[in-house]
Amino acid sequence: MKYLKKAARTAETDQADVHAAVTQMLAAIETGGEEAARRYARELDRWDGDIVVSHEARKAAAALVPEQIKADIRFAHDNVRRFAEAQRATSTDIAVEILPGLTLGQKQIPVSAAGCYVPGGRYSHVASAIMTITTAKVAGVSHIAACSPPRPGVGIPPAILYTMDLCGADVILNMGGVQGVAAIANGLFGVKKADILVGPGNQYVAEAKRILFGQVGIDMVAGPTDSMVIADATADAEFVAADLVGQAEHGWNSPVWLVTSDENLAKRVMARVPDLIEGLPAPNRDSARAAWADFAEVILCHDAEEMAAVADDYAPEHLHVQASDLDWWLQRLRAYGSLFLGEETTVAFGDKTSGPNHVLPTSRAARYTGGLSVHKFLKTVTWQRATRAAARPLAEATARISRLEGMEGHARTADIRLAKFFPDEVFELKPASDES
């Protein structure tokens, strides 16, 4: 392979060290509680209104959202819900008799409380509300809290608020950033302490979730969004260029990569991208321009197998194949957050409406994990039950293995059961190599 365009920087280059600032904020909120969280809301969100969104405010927000937008949101919500329900059906309780009289099982238990972060800022991320809250609801989480940055004098934008309510948030907080995450993690403002925190956010939100991991579960540690297009000679250069630009607008440090076996296609795409970027409105244009200049790459490969190997190495968050023999790609590719097959789909469909979750692993994390799903909200726990007859071989082997390991207390819990269940028998409960 060879690079026709090589990134000058990576998504991790020159990232601000926010750890100290976030640590300080989390400690202040843990100690100062609601008043500390309110103080950060006033300072950072410029918000001095109600923190908990009332039922009346939810209804008022719904009245402000145009009917067509409501219909579109309901369409997306229905697709995400139905896909999540299909996922949930794959997680089942089981019971199996491993030995006569020894029954083992697993149960799928949803966490009790989830916190969903919905980004605000310059974009109204209604899709993130759908992806997080809906998925938690389908998983069976009994208490779902959601938060999002309020806009000064407005609060959470009406479309986001309508979506949060539609998807089933039990409590909604007018609070963004670290303070919003910390409020939910610590159970402030009437929120039940979260068992898990999910949802995308800026580097401060991501760092807060990383630090809180252990105290609570998290979906993943996320970096800047990234996307790859695989294209061969059959691809439409205009589609490829538009798809790259569409993802580059996420942010100045959002990498986009083109991997292709056709140099002519690559050159046409590289020539077209700058024009498409300049046609975007601000600030999208500035973000896409910076991302393309500093982080984008165009990689020329010899054949499909080499393109697939490059994709597996990069492990992109979004991977869009615009090439022939889509079934081959579906079977071959091994590392991606979400896969888009053919020009009839696009990453934006997955980001907004089609159904699979858009909260996905970034920064090559797709090598070892998938994205947000109902499974993230479920605990797979195990159980066992035995008859006295089944306990016999278990106790004998357990006693000997425990003594081999030097764990006498473990061994004796097996010994006493054999003594009670089979009082007239004598057992050899020392490992054969034990000469004592």
Q: Catalytic residue positions?
A: 317-318
Type and span of the H or E element at 300 = strand 297-300
Reported for 215-221, long-range contacts at CB under 8 A and 24+ positions apart, including other chains, are 215/185, 216/115, 216/185, 217/111, 217/376, 219/359, 219/371, 219/372, 219/376, 220/359, 220/361, 220/365, 220/369, 220/371, 220/372, 221/365
Does the annotation list 202 as a binding residue? yes
Query: Encoding tokens for residue 253?
Result: 């440090």
415 assigned to a ligand binding site: no
338-341 and 378-386 beta bridge pairing: unpaired
Residue 243 annotated as part of some ligand binding site:
no
Instruction: Select from 221, 185, 180, 208 the least CA-distant residue to 24.
Output: 208
Q: Is 77 annotated as a binding residue?
A: no
Determine whether the annotation assigns residue 358 to a binding site: no
d(CA 418, CA 436) in angstroms, rounded, equals: 21
**Residue 351 annotated as binding site:** yes
Q: Please give the DSSP secondary-structure letter assigned to residue 155.
A: B
User: Is 108 annotated as ligand-binding?
Assistant: no
CB 398 within 8 A of CB 410: yes
Strands 196-198 and 217-218: parallel
Q: Name the token pair of 370.
A: 């998938």
Q: Does 398 belong to an annotated binding site?
A: no
Residue 170 CB partners (closer than 8 Å, separation 6+): 143, 144, 145
**Residue in 83, 44, 281, 58 with CA at minimum distance from that of residue 179:** 44
d(CA 305, CA 278): 34
Is 117 annotated in a binding site? The answer is: yes
Q: Is 405 annotated as a binding residue?
A: yes
Please report, in range form, the residues annotated as the binding site: 117, 179, 202, 225, 247, 250, 318, 351, 405, 410
Please report, in range form, the residues annotated as the binding site for substrate: 225, 247, 250, 318, 351, 405, 410
Please report, in range form, the residues annotated as the binding site for NAD(+): 117, 179, 202
Please report, in range form, the residues annotated as the binding site for Zn(2+): 247, 250, 351, 410
